[in-house]
Amino acid sequence: MSATAAAPAAVAAPMGEVALRIEVRGGRSVAARQFHQGALRVLRPHYLDESGQVCYVVVNPGGAYLGSDLYVIDVEVAAGAKLLLTTQSATKVYRTPGSFAEQRMRLRLGEGAQLELAPDQLIAYREASYRQNTHIIMHPTSSLVMSEVITPGWSPDGAAFRYEELRLRTEIHVGSAGRGGLLALDNLLIRPPEHDVTGLGFMEGFSHLGSLIVVDGRVDQELADELHALTDGHDACTGVSLTASVHGISGLVLRSLSNSTDELKRLLGACSALLRQRWYGTAPLDLRKY
């Protein structure tokens, strides 16, 4: 490189980091490695039923994501291990002048591993810009259920959709790193117009978005139809799409629009409960009671 060439841009240091490796020991899933620093923490493990699945709760003591913040979460669920990962409270994104807030998550699932990712809602406030990048590598025999609820935060003038932009990118590969096939690339961009357009087509007039991503060898059209039917009776507009099969494993994405966080939580909770009972033989969970 010549003396006049520009130096590479500095990589921002994470504001908070969490790393977990979950393994099976003595019939239960335990953390073989646990690390956190900065503005992210994990609470002590919980066992919510007799299945051996471990539950970890991620906490942000700072309370919110701000402009230029970077948070990094790295989770490995080893062969046969079972993890439920959730958050203590909603993820709040406040004003981000100058640059967006970002969360990067890497998930790796070994042979026969199970991961349920069930964070509380993401709340984007006025003038907030946020990016979330999730990269997942799964063994063909592993199982993934992940949910997400996005809601606009309160605005002083009462107007809807006052955040600037939300970009959520989820990339799922089946196989080992470098040799796995791409199962799904889910890109979600929400960029509200400058003025409230409720009823004029943006998000079909709704203000809240719920997503459920399920990847498992047992995913098929029958399951997609059953989950869609389960949403009947809820005050939400819902659609379900299937991925192609890669190495014998398929996925589905359920997307639901509503005007209520609680309604979306009930809907996604009902879908997750059906999967827990049918696939894992475990009862539905109400995380707020623990």
- 145-178: per-residue pLDDT in tens? 999 999 999 877 776 678 999 999 999 999 965 5
Looking at the domain assignment, is residue 267 inside a domain?
A: yes
**According to the model, what pLDDT value does residue 285 have?**
75
Looking at the domain assignment, is residue 140 inside a domain?
A: yes
Please tell me the total count of domains within the chain. Answer: 1
Looking at the domain assignment, is residue 246 inside a domain?
A: yes
Looking at the domain assignment, is residue 275 inside a domain?
A: yes
- pLDDT tens sequence across 181-190: 999 999 999 9
What is the helix (H) or strand (E) element at residue 270, kind and residue range?
helix 261-275
Task: Report the sign of the C-alpha dihedral through residues 156, 160, 165, 168, in that order.
Answer: positive
Q: Which domain holds residue 202?
A: 16-282
Looking at the domain assignment, is residue 273 inside a domain?
A: yes
- pLDDT tens sequence across 86-143: 999 999 999 999 899 999 999 999 999 999 999 999 999 999 999 999 999 999 999 9
Looking at the domain assignment, is residue 209 inside a domain?
A: yes
Looking at the domain assignment, is residue 10 inside a domain?
A: no
**Cα gap 226→190, rounded to integer Å:** 28
**Cα gap 62→83, rounded to integer Å:** 25
CB 268 within 8 A of CB 210: yes
Burial 123-146 (b: 16+ CB within 10 A, else e): bbbbebbbebebbbbbbbbbbbbb
